[in-house]
Amino acid sequence: MKPEDRIIVALDVDTPTKAISLVRDLAPYVGCFKIGLGFINAMLASVIIPQVESIAVISLRRIRELFGLLKGNILWDGKFDDIPNTVGGASVPINNIGVKMFNVHASAGKEAIARAVAEKGRSLVLGVTVLTSIDRDMCNSIFGKDPGEKVLQFADWLVEAGADGIICSPQELKVLADAGISRKLMRVTPGIRPKWAQKGDQKRVMTPAQAVKAGADYLVIGRPIRQPPEEIGSPVDAAKRIAKEIANVS
């Protein structure tokens, strides 16, 4: 992959118009775009809420325009976490949309992951493990294990269920490599913060260079690209800067 192909930009915006602007600017400089729960719900609301039908139609047209621009280069970040039958059913329309990747939360269990795999079509199924906003103490409170231990357990489930990849903090990449999991699952890492960016609500983070050195295949990056510091410049400037950092280590 070229360095820019490793970058997945999080489209964490609240209108299709904002997303269209970002995609038009950034598509030549990144590999993929993540559509998460906030924006998924915002798109749905933009069609349902307007009392004037013509306004809803305009929103629908913008959504369709956006997906035309994306050309399937989408990580659908729905984090499916439900009973196996529901996860399988939710996977069908996402496959029909033609996204590159979508995810299921590994905590749903091996059977639910396997149902997503069975309905994935040409899409790739990724397993979400321990969110990057969760620190060690909170992870122990939720799962009864440290992040590294829990991610490794989830990784085993993903391999057994036939998933294509894993989503985890870059700090767990070494654990996966030491266990030999890196050869079996594509590694997608949120929690990426360049040295010039603020951490925000992320707890377990690395820079782009550190994550690639640790074995990340794809880096999910949101605010540092969408809203870079003034001294960095525009979102395009931020994306180019991150791609250069990746190129220097890959």
With 0.75 as the threshold, say if the pTM is over it.
yes
| Catalytic machinery residues | 79
Do 220 and 202 form a contact (C-beta atoms < 8 A)?
A: no
Please state at what angle helix 37-48 crosses helix 16-26, rounded to 10 degrees: 130
Question: pLDDT grade, residue 133 (50/70/90)?
Answer: confident
Query: Could you say which architecture CATH assigns to the domain 3-247?
Result: Alpha-Beta Barrel (3.20)
pLDDT digits (tens, 9 = 90+) for 82-114: 999 999 999 999 999 999 999 999 999 999 999
Sign of CA dihedral 235, 237, 238, 240: positive
Q: How far apart are CA 243 and CA 106, in angstroms?
A: 30
> What are the residue boundaries of the structural domains of the chain, listed by start?
3-247
Predicted confidence at residue 108, as pLDDT, reads 97
Question: pLDDT grade, residue 151 (50/70/90)?
Answer: very high
Predicted confidence at residue 200, as pLDDT, reads 63
CB burial class (10 A; 0-12, 13-18, 19+) of residue 35? buried
Q: How far apart are CA 116 and CA 162, in angstroms?
A: 10
pLDDT digits (tens, 9 = 90+) for 203-243: 668 999 999 999 999 999 999 999 999 999 999 999 999 99
Do 75 and 220 form a contact (C-beta atoms < 8 A)?
A: yes
pLDDT digits (tens, 9 = 90+) for 158-200: 999 999 999 999 889 999 999 998 789 999 999 899 999 876 6
Q: Would you say how long the chain is, in residues?
A: 250
Q: How far apart are CA 143 and CA 108, in angstroms?
A: 13
